[in-house]
Amino acid sequence: MLGPDTLQETLEHAKSLYDQGWASSNPTPLFDATARVLRDRMSSYGEDVVVLTCLGAVLCDMMRPADAEAVLERAVALGSTDRHTFFNLFVARLQLGQTDAARQALERSTSLEGQPSTWTAYFDPHGM
């Protein structure tokens, strides 16, 4: 496999692409690249709740909430206890118009700690 070898290296590389996307006037190619890096990691090493959580954030920010919800629900099924997993699920469900389900995900997130290796989807409470 070319590219990052360890999970930490993969996450650092993906986060760098993701951050570059936010700084770009055209984030789509960089968000696509971020998602590709994360999916490639799972293709090579199997599913991981950390990778799924980060991928869910990227998919939310790409306005692909149905895909994000599926990825994040998989992280939950695998036993995620990461606050960011549930916050990202909240964002995905809000984007899908599932207010009650979104609220449940947000409530679940409040009792958990966010992992330093994961990140959250963009959320603007004033944009609701």
Structure confidence by residue, pLDDT tens digits, 6-24: 999 999 999 999 999 999 9
| Interatomic CA distance for residues 89 and 57, integer angstroms | 9
Q: Is 2 inside any structural domain?
A: no
The per-residue pLDDT for 2 is 47
- Written as six digits, the tokens of 98 are 């599932």
Dihedral Cα 99, 103, 104, 105, nearest 10 deg:
100
Task: Identify the CATH number of the domain in which residue 75 sits.
Answer: 1.25.40.10
What residues contact residue 115 under an 8 Å CB cut-off, 6+ apart? 50, 53, 82, 83, 84
pLDDT band with cut points at 50, 70 and 90 for residue 125? confident
Residue 13 lies in domain: 7-112
Q: Is 126 inside any structural domain?
A: no
Q: Is 124 inside any structural domain?
A: no
Decide: pTM greater than 0.85: yes
pLDDT band with cut points at 50, 70 and 90 for residue 1? very low
